[in-house]
Copies of this chain bind each other. A is one copy, B any other.
Amino acid sequence: MVRWEPGARDRLRAAALDLYANRGFEQTTAADIAQSVGLTERTFFRYFADKREVLFHGQESFQQVFLDGVAAAPQGSSALEVVTFALREASSFFPDDRRASSRLRQTVIDANHGLQERELLKLAWLSAGIAEALGRRGVPGPQAALAAETGVAVFGVAFRQWIAEDEQRSLDEIEVDTLGELRAMSLAVS
């Protein structure tokens, strides 16, 4: 009989983040994580394929919110306007009550080379997906790629600031500021 523990996924995730941050990702096993919240290793594997997936779970949903944003942006928008629209829609994926756990997750990733690579690839896939979605809106290839990569760069830079210790602004506010910075920067190049 398979028992589904209410809230088990969230408890496992929170416990995993704490252990990864304090003991190290490599030094933590799935059994350690499960035991720390009174569950079995078998239960862990009912929710996550492996201990890395705890960190990257939800990635598809995030990418989907972004791509839905690209599809939903008003007709007649320029390529970067479309990406900006999607970027701001996707910021709803990171409300302020996720800030602390997002920060902890980033600490874990920054401390492990393999996880950093996985994170970079995730963002590269996001960028490729956005470029493709822009292509479906009729944006020519090079322009789609430039808008997609620029949008992902803005997201990445804004996200880093959002999880900084003393940051108070929401992710959406930081994205707006970062887009303003991009505009000022681009104008200054002759």
Contacts of A80 in B (CB 8 A): 185-186, 188-189
Asked if residues B153 and A150 are in contact (CB atoms below 8 Å), the reply is: yes
Q: Which one, B84, B143, B150, B181, contacts A143 given CB within 8 A?
A: B181
> Cβ of A100 < 8 Å from any Cβ of B?
no
Proximity string of chain A (76-110) to chain B, C-beta cutoff 8 Å, 1 when within and 0 when not: 00111100100000000000000000000000000
Proximity string of chain A (121-152) to chain B, C-beta cutoff 8 Å, 1 when within and 0 when not: 10010000000000000000011011101100
> Cβ of A160 < 8 Å from any Cβ of B?
yes
- Residues A142 and B160 in contact in the complex (CB < 8 Å), given A188-B78, A189-B84: yes
Interface residues on A, range: 20 to 34
* Shortest Cβ distance from residue A131 to the other chain B in the assembled complex, whole angstroms: 10
- The residue among A146, A179, A188 with the most chain B CB atoms within 10 A of its own CB is A146
Q: What is the bound-complex CA distance between A29 and B4, given in angstroms?
A: 50
Instruction: State the A residues within 8 Å of B (CB).
Output: 78-81, 84, 117, 120-121, 124, 142-143, 145-147, 149-150, 153-154, 156-157, 160-161, 178-179, 181-183, 185-190
Nearest 7 pairs of A and B residues by beta carbon: A149-B153, A186-B186, A80-B185, A78-B188, A183-B186, A120-B124, A146-B157
